[in-house]
Structure 1
Amino acid sequence: MAARRRGLTPGERELWSRIARSAKALHPPGKPAKSQREETTLPISEKAATTPAAFPRFRVGQSSLPSKPTSVRAPSPAEWLADAAPRMDAKAYKRMTQGKMRPEARLDLHGMTLAQAQPELTRFILSCHANGLRLVLVITGKGRGDHGPLPTRPGALRHQVPHWLHRTPLAPVVQQITAAHYRHGGEGAYYVYLRR
């Protein structure tokens, strides 16, 4: 059984008539729309330049998908940290990235949610800085690979930790962040070099 449609109340009808009286037509009667007027006044050569390119022809059995993906992948945190200029002594930076410096403390964030990990990271970094430590290791894990129908970014912690380290209250005490050497966890961990 279909629901009966409610009519407008007298107040609603009066409000609608006021709105209708104040409205102006986008295209007054008798005048063509702006796009139609421009189209009729363009010379033939300009019309050809503004028409979209023809679609490519396909043969029966040919895939309509491009052979290479056209989307551009966003750089991983390790890639954009590697591209950043070092903000510490070049010799120490080289030794650190080669895994020759041993971290003085480590924090493992495996299995934590973002809400649990952020306060734990803040507490750990500020505590290490207060104790005079210079190089610490923060382990985030690489994240699970998700092979579902929609592309997702694996490793929420791996992507979020560098952002947290670049914001207050941690930014003033952090001098350098870089991906750890493979012997200390590789892309699943970060070296955090603290200021004095």
Structure 2
Amino acid sequence: MKKKEDLTKADEAQWKEYLKNPKDIFDKERLDEKSLNTNHRLRFDLHGFTLLDANQKVRELIVDCQEKGFREILLITGKGLHSNTDQNTYVSKELSKLKFSIPEYINSNKDLSDKIYSMEQASIIDGGEGAFIIKIKKL
């Protein structure tokens, strides 16, 4: 490519006009953190967490994500297939699994349920039965 030595007045005027409203250039420096997170989804895996630890972590995630402008949390709980609570006769087989206990925990805490729009099972691509999506309200 041969470089043009002298810029004509017409070229300079055209360039300045283009810079006023560039439509086909993505300027990542114009983005701030809040606009980056507007449609952003946080992904968090709860495999290996106990019920108490998972509940505490979910509380932290919902509060932090709302403050930072995240709109969704993809929460991976697993399907409960490897849960070792089935051997304990004093523990509920459903509620001892994160898949069932996390939604119950959120719905039973008004301060948390007030921060979300909805909670639904994730699509197969996002984890299906072993994950769900929490949609967060704006502050």
Q: TM-score range by the shorter chain?
A: 0.5 to 0.7
What TM-score, normalized by structure 2, do the two folds share? 0.59
Q: How many residues align?
A: 94
Query: What's the % identity of the aligned pairs?
Result: 29
Task: Find 2:113's aligned residue among 125, 146, 171.
Answer: 171
Equivalent residues of 1:141, 1:155 under 8 A apart: no
RMSD over equivalenced CA pairs, Å: 2.5
Report the Cα offset of residue 186 of structure 1.
0.3
Aligned counterparts of 1:191 and 1:103: Cα–Cα separation in 2: 12
User: Which residue of structure 2 lines up, in the alignment, with residue 141 of structure 1?
Assistant: 78
Task: Find 1:104's aligned residue among 28, 41, 45.
Answer: 41
Report the Cα offset of residue 154 of structure 1.
8.2
Equivalent residues of 1:179, 1:189 under 8 A apart: yes
Task: Find 1:129's aligned residue among 66, 69, 84.
Answer: 66
Bigger strand share: 2
Q: Which has the larger radius of gyration?
A: 1
Aligned counterparts of 2:79 and 2:40: Cα–Cα separation in 1: 19
What TM-score, normalized by structure 1, do the two folds share? 0.43
Unaligned runs of 5+ in 1: 1-101
Equivalent residues of 1:110, 1:141 under 8 A apart: yes
Equivalent residues of 2:71, 2:137 under 8 A apart: yes
Bigger helix share: 2
Alignment CA distance shift 1:164-1:154 (3 Å): closer
SS at match of 1:120: helix
| Superposition pairs of residues 50-61 of structure 1, within 5 angstroms | none
SS at match of 1:111: coil
**Structure 1 moving runs of 4+ over 2 Å:** 145-148, 150-155
* Amino acid aligned to 1:140: T
Deviation sequence 1:120-141 (CA, Å, 0-9, x none):
1100111000011111101100
* Amino acid aligned to 2:59: T
Deviation sequence 1:56-100 (CA, Å, 0-9, x none):
xxxxxxxxxxxxxxxxxxxxxxxxxxxxxxxxxxxxxxxxxxxxx
Report the Cα offset of residue 155 of structure 1.
6.3
Task: Find 2:101's aligned residue among 148, 160, 171.
Answer: 160
Equivalent residues of 1:122, 1:169 under 8 A apart: no
